[in-house]
């Protein structure tokens, strides 16, 4: 029988050294490394956003996108990470950025302040070492390590470990970069009740599989090869699963990426998402998509919770153990971790797949950032929209 996953995380990964709200019950400590590694000395903290910056970070995001697009052209570079702040962009780079990167850096600085900071390791180096830990996690989903995350300042990795695990005896493979540990519970995976065609993101999607009859939320409307689709969370169904909104048939799933928790449903869709309460009629057009940056402040639009704002991106979870509705452990990858800055619960059952977005300045439109996957306390985890582009070859359906 197919396992059904529900997004209601019981704990996930957060980044080392982050200044998190007091509501976070996660313990953190620096570990004595295995032979060949060194203890991280970083005391870096992501600058906490103020109320004004939560309302509008358009210019800062624009500068970050200029940099991120240039990074894509720099193969085997020393790029580490991009962090957004109230005042501008922090760019972590191992060594000196190449001369070919200078034009993009100058262009970004015309939009917002950009500070280049030294990185101990490049993104590629950290991903290579995270792969080693991720393979070990996947081989033993009941083991002491339940997640691996990249430090926001590129100083090393963060290993998420179970409560009660011995940080000095994790049994993980030796890696060549330093790491910290953070203690966490195992996460558990997490309506715009009657929409009409063409359909929008943020509506109820009810799986019609025999014995299923459970609901999720439609993500962003997308398109490829002139066909229109809705994204949603991968754990909401399988290839061949039919979804309805009320009594209206939306479509039948054609593609899925389980580890990335993404599903593609053909639909008569329009380039809008709902934005407001669970009963709102307010829709906003989709202007396009953007990468996700550490320090971003995003929103979600779930069918159960409605729009939840002030979701602060605190880290990138490379691999993670989660718990399904039957109490079994499962494995997902490439998640972004956010914390709700006001201490609210950011999602509930039925919000899985919800569009994650930012407002596009004062245009009344939104920019796609991702699709909701899981929740743990005040933390919401989501898959970046850029992953759907790579996995399915789609682009956002814009309005």
pLDDT single digits (tens) 178-229: 999 998 877 777 634 456 678 889 999 988 888 766 789 999 999 999 999 9
Options 3.40.50.300, 2.30.40.10, 3.40.50.1100, 2.40.10.10; CATH for 199-396 is 2.40.10.10
Q: What confidence score (pLDDT) does residue 376 get? A: 83
Nearest Cα to 125, choosing from 170, 80, 162, 73?
Answer: 80
Q: What is the spatial distance between Cα 386 and Cα 368, in angstroms, rounded to a whole number? A: 9
Phi/psi for 49 (5° steps) reads: -70, 150
pLDDT single digits (tens) 251-290: 999 999 999 999 999 999 999 999 999 988 899 999 999 9
Q: What is the spatial distance between Cα 286 and Cα 289, in angstroms, rounded to a whole number? A: 8
- Could you write out the DSSP letters of every residue in 53-72? HHH--HHHHHHHHHHHHHHH
Mean pLDDT lowest among 7-16, 121-130, 390-399: 7-16
Q: 366-390: b or e for each residue (b if 16 or more CB lie within 10 Å)?
A: bbbbbbbbbbbbbbbbbbbbbbbbe
Question: pLDDT class for 39, splitting at 50, 70, 90?
Answer: very low
Query: What sign for the dihedral angle of Cα 174, 80, 165, 383?
Result: negative
For 35, residues 6+ apart whose C-beta sits below 8 A from its C-beta are 174
Q: Distances from the Cα of 228 to the Cαs of 339, 370, 373, 398, in angstroms?
A: 32, 17, 22, 11
Q: What confidence score (pLDDT) does residue 53 get? A: 53
Q: What is the spatial distance between Cα 13 and Cα 160, in angstroms, rounded to a whole number? A: 6
pTM of the model: 0.84
**Residue that has been written with the tokens 């005042």 in this structure:** 87
Domain locations along the chain: 199-396
277: its two tokens: 């309460």
pLDDT single digits (tens) 349-378: 889 999 999 998 889 999 999 999 988 889
Q: What confidence score (pLDDT) does residue 194 get? A: 53
């Amino acid at each position: 029988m197919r396992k059904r996953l529900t997004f209601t995380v019981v704990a996930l990964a957060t980044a080392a050294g982050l200044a998190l709200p007091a509501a976070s019950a996660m313990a953190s400590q620096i570990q004595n490394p295995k032979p060949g590694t060194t203890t991280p000395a970083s005391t870096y903290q992501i600058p906490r956003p103020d109320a004004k910056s939560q309302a509008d970070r358009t210019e800062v995001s624009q500068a970050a996108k200029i940099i991120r697009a240039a990074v894509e052209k720099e193969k085997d570079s020393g790029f580490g990470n991009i962090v957004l702040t109230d005042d501008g962009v922090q760019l972590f780079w191992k060594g000196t950025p190449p001369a070919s990167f200078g034009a993009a850096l100058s262009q970004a600085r015309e939009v917002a302040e950009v500070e280049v900071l030294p990185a101990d390791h490049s993104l590629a180096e950290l991903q290579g070492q995270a792969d080693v830990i991720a393979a070990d996690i996947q081989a033993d989903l009941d083991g002491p390590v339940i997640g691996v995350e990249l430090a926001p300042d590129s100083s090393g990795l963060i290993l998420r470990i179970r409560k009660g695990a011995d940080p000095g005896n994790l049994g993980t493979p030796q890696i060549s970069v330093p790491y910290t540990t953070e203690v966490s519970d195992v996460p558990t995976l997490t309506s715009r009740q009657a929409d009409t065609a063409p359909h929008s993101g943020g509506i109820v999607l009810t799986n019609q599989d025999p014995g299923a009859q459970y609901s999720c939320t439609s993500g962003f409307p997308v398109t490829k090869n002139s066909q229109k689709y809705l994204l949603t969370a991968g754990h909401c169904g399988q290839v061949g699963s039919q979804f309805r909104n009320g009594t209206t048939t939306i479509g039948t799933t054609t593609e899925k990426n389980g580890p990335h928790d993404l599903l593609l449903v053909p639909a008569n869709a329009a380039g809008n998402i709902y934005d407001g309460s669970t009963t709102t009629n307010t829709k906003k057009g989709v202007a396009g998509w953007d990468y996700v940056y550490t320090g971003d402040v995003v929103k979600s639009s779930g069918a159960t919770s409605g729009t939840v704002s002030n979701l602060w991106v605190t880290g990138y979870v490379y691999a993670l153990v989660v718990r399904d509705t039957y109490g079994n452990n499962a494995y997902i990858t490439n998640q972004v971790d956010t914390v709700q800055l006001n201490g609210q619960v950011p999602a509930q059952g039925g919000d899985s797949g919800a569009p994650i977005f930012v407002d596009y300045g004062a245009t009344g439109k939104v920019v796609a950032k991702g699709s909701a996957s899981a929740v743990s306390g005040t933390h919401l985890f989501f898959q970046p929209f850029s992953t759907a582009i790579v996995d399915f070859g789609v682009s956002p359906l814009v309005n």
